[in-house]
Structure 1
Amino acid sequence: MVPALTAGFPVQARLAKAELDKVAVTPEPGARAPLALPVTDASADRATSLGAVLDGHPALLLPVDYTCGNVCDPMIGLSADALAATGLRPEDRRLILVGIDPKDDTATARARIAAVWGDRPGGPAILVAGAKEIGELTGDLGYRFTYDRSTDSFAHPAAALLLTGDGRLARVLSPLALDGKDLRLALAEAGEGRVGTLSDRLALLCYGFDAAKGVYAPLIGRILVVSGVVTVAAIALLITALIRVRRRQEISAGGA
């Protein structure tokens, strides 16, 4: 199963380690999303603002690359499943996607999310914006990413930003490890305007190979490590079982 998970990654990432080390979520105390930020709602092809989309409700905001085939797709899918598992009403468990690539238009964003969302009920707010607006939003929230011109791809944190109804950053979460029960509690706290302890640094990358080290990106690396440990353990158990069977056969033969 591991090759399928890694198949979407570029053959080689070209960003240097120093550039990748800058990619993280490092919010300042009191970080807040700019509610007046102009964005385009790709679902309706209409201009709006981030505040209008938030509409006074807590929401999970995911900065994504709509043409990314790496971690973005499972990040969106797992976030959707976790939100559904909270059991909250749709208006109390909003998912807002915002593109980090200003080249992505509304048609591209709609097509990508339709493919990822599948037959799940409802749907997220799908937003696109210009380079200036993207820079303002990510800068205010401490979300730092970088562009790789050689592969036309982005190295960006795989992070879910939980916002309160008035745009304050309440928590930084990993969308790949969301639990419905815990997310429900976090959303309830955000709905009350409470802000939890923000991560000092969330640096799980949505990017391919780290050329500086010649290893997989952190997510895939962890998957490979776990898979390797399980494989070695299985082989060890098989060898142990075969040795025991051989000894029993030798004992039986000796007794005969």
Structure 2
Amino acid sequence: MLAKSPSADQRSAPARVRRAVLACALLAGIGTTGAAQAQLLSDLPEQMQGVGIDDKSGAQIPLDLRFRDENGRAITLADVFDGDRPVLLSLNYSDCPMLCGLQLNGLVQSLQDLKLSAGKDFDVVSVSVDPLETTSRAKLTEQKYLKQYARGGAAGGFRFLTGNNDNIRALADAIGFRYKYLPDRKEYSHTAAEIVCTPDGVVSRYLYGVMYDPQTLRLSLVEASDGKIGSPLDQLILYCFHYDETEGRYGPVARRVMSVGAGITVVALAAGLLPYWLHRSSPPAPDPAGEADAVAASSPSTPPGEPAPHSDAHSDAHNA
């Protein structure tokens, strides 16, 4: 019996699976090689063509853009980036069917492992890409993640902003966030990333994907804060490590590690030899026995065979 020829749908199934996997890699921000990226871009479905992130590290976010916070208060981004704390910024929307929830859940889970606290050491800001999202809907999203974060004093550290399309687009362009609206599905096609910003609103680093390494999060915040948060050890680690874009985390810089190691060795040797140097440079303590010998040596001696000298008073008393 001859095998039946596969149908067109059956033949195209592997291609559809391949495109789906590649699309998920893009949306999750998974790093790929240049060849894989080229294949990914050529195999992307139309809904995701043009979606992605352009690295604009060092760019200044326009602080005059106007939004409303989760309480309905009109603000500008200057109220968010007030020079006090670094900011973890992301573009999401509350009615996102999957990716935004995965990203924010992964972020909060990682933040729970940090000693740094939202609202005290840094802020979490999510701007909705949906201009139709209401402040009441944003408030529900804020309450959800505050409850999940479950740390006191964090109420002012999570902010969910809504705004008109022009301001949303202006912010997205400033940070290199490319997204598109799908009218037939009434959804937004976008990728996932946390943009680490300085307290003054300068893009410091991009953390891609939906899961974030707590140590990478901490060091990224310390780096963006310019020393305003973190410990001296964090500053030393940042000196010895640099952010590896391909790995999505901080890795050691051999030259800096060697220089720090050499410095520690010199300090240790100096500390060990210091008592020896101090002992050699200090004058010797006086020796009582030596002083007595010196006095005896300086007094007149009696040559052998001669009588010992005596005083006149002793001689007169003897004659009397």
Do the aligned residues in 1 keep the contact of 2:47 with 2:189 (CA within 8 Å)?
Answer: no
1:54 and 2:88 correspond: no
Cα distance, 1:101 vs structure 2: 0.4
SS of 1:51's equivalent in the other structure is helix
Partner of 1:76: 104
By how many angstroms is 1:117 displaced? Answer: 4.3
Per-residue deviation, 1:115: 3.4
* 1:34 positional shift: 1.1
Distance in 2, matches of 1:148 and 1:161, equals: 24
TM-score, normalization by structure 1: 0.65
- Which secondary structure does the structure 1 equivalent of 2:91 belong to? strand
State yes or no: 1:37 paired with 2:71: no
User: Residue deviations 1:217-240, cap 9 Å, x none?
Assistant: xxxxxxxxxxxxxxxxxxxxxxxx
Give the number of the structure with larger relative contact order, counting CA–CA contacts within 8 Å between residues 6 or more apart. Answer: 1
1:134 to 168, 190, 193: 168
Q: 1:83 to 1:29 in 2, by over 3 A?
A: closer
Structure (1/2) with the larger helix percentage: 2
Note the C-alpha offset of 1:74.
2.2
Structure 1 segment 192-231 matched on structure 2, within 5 A: 192=226
Which residue matches 2:132? 103
Indicate the larger mover: 19-28 or 58-67: 19-28
**Contact 1:83-1:93 within 8 A present in 2 as well:** no
Tell me the matched-pair count. Answer: 184
Which residue number in structure 1 is paired with residue 213 of structure 2?
179
Q: 1:197 to 1:168 in 2, by over 3 A?
A: farther
Segments of structure 2 that go 5 or more residues without pairing to the other structure are 1-43, 228-237, 249-320
| Larger Rg, first or second structure (1 or 2) | 2
Shift of 1:18: 4.2
- Asked if structure 2 preserves the Cα contact closer than 8 Å seen for 1:146 and 1:156, the reply is yes
Deviation at 1:114, TM superposition (A): 2.6
Identity among equivalent pairs (%): 26
Superimposed CA distance per residue, residues 164-210 of structure 1 (whole angstroms, 9 cap, x where no aligned partner): 1111111110252212222111100000189x87969x9xxxxxxxx
Whether 2:95 is the aligned partner of 1:67: answer: yes
Work out whether residues 57 and 203 of structure 2, in 8 Å CA contact, stay in contact via their aligned partners in 1. Answer: no
CA displacement at 1:146 relative to structure 2: 0.4
Alpha-carbon distance in 2 for matches of 1:186, 1:69: 29
Amino acid in structure 2 at the alignment position of 1:86: L
Amino acid at match of 1:177: M
Report the secondary structure of 1:62's partner residue: strand
1:19 Cα deviation (Å)? 4.7
Contact 1:78/1:178 (8 A) holds in 2: yes
1:150–1:199: structure 2 CA closer, same or farther, 3 Å change rule?
A: farther
Distance 1:109 1:29, change over 3 A: closer
Aligned residue identity for 2:72: D
How many angstroms apart in 1 are the aligned matches of 2:57 and 2:99? 28
2: CA distance, partners of 1:167 / 1:198: 23
Native 8 Å contact 1:79 1:175 kept in 2:
no
Distance 2:126 2:56 in 1: 22
Contact 1:63–1:97 (CA under 8 A) maintained in structure 2: yes
Q: Which residue in the other structure is 1:26 paired with?
A: 54
2:20 alignment partner in structure 1: none
CA distance in 2, matches of 1:41, 1:29: 25
Q: CA deviation at 1:97?
A: 0.8
Is the 1:22–1:144 Cα contact (8 Å) retained in structure 2?
yes
* 3-state SS of 2:210 partner: helix
Q: CA deviation at 1:96?
A: 0.5
* Residue 126 (structure 2) pairs with residue 118 (structure 1): no
The gaps in structure 1 that reach 5 residues or longer are 1-15, 203-256
For 1:85 and 1:177, the matched residues in 2 are separated by 13
